[in-house]
Amino acid sequence: MSQLVTYSPAYTLVPTYECFNRCTYCNFRAEPGKSSWITLSTAETLLKELQSRGVCEILILSGEVHPHSSRRQVWFQLIYELCELALSMGFLPHTNVGPLSFVEMQQLKMVNVSMGLMLEQLTPQLLKTVHRQAPSKVPQVRLQQLTWAGELQIPFTTGLLLGIGETQNDWWETLEAIAHIHEQWGHIQEVILQPHSPGSNQTWDAPAFDPHQLPQVVASARKILPPEITLQIPPNLVQDPDWLLACLAAGARDLGGIGPKDEVNPDYPHPHSQRLAKILEPAGWQLVPRLPVYPPYYNWLPERLQSAINPSASPHFQILR
Domain boundaries, the chain: 3-308
Average pLDDT over residues 32-39: 92
Superfamily of domain 3-308: Aldolase class I (3.20.20.70)
Say whether pLDDT at 128 is over 80: yes
Q: Which residues, at least 6 apart from 254, have a Cβ–Cβ distance to it below 8 Å?
A: 5, 6, 7, 190, 230, 231, 232, 233, 290
Say whether pLDDT at 262 is over 90: yes
| % of the chain at pLDDT higher than 90 | 93
Say whether pLDDT at 1 is over 80: no
Question: Integer distance in angstroms from the first to the last C-alpha of the chain?
Answer: 17
Pick from 182, 164, 60, 169: nearest CA to 120: 164
Could you report the per-residue pLDDT of 144-168, keeping only the tens digit for each?
999 999 999 999 999 999 999 999 9
CA 96 to CA 79: how far, in whole Å?
10
Model pTM?
0.95
* Alpha-helical regions (H) of 37-110: 40-50, 72-88, 102-108
Could you report the per-residue pLDDT of 215-237, keeping only the tens digit for each?
999 999 999 999 999 999 999 99
Say whether pLDDT at 191 is over 70: yes
Per-residue pLDDT band for 131 (boundaries 50, 70, 90) equals: very high
Q: What is the pLDDT of residue 317?
A: 43
Per-residue pLDDT band for 312 (boundaries 50, 70, 90) equals: very low
Reported residue count of the chain is 321
Q: Which residues, at least 6 apart from 74, have a Cβ–Cβ distance to it below 8 Å?
A: none
Q: Is residue 202 within 8 Å of residue 27, measured between CB atoms?
A: yes
Q: Which helix (H) or strand (E) holds 221?
A: helix 214-224
Between 268 and 33, the more confident residue is 268
Say whether pLDDT at 13 is over 80: yes
Q: What is the pLDDT of residue 314?
A: 46
| % of the chain at pLDDT higher than 70 | 96
CA 23 to CA 264: how far, in whole Å?
12
Q: What is the pLDDT of residue 311?
A: 57
Q: What is the pLDDT of residue 315?
A: 40
Position 286, amino acid: Q
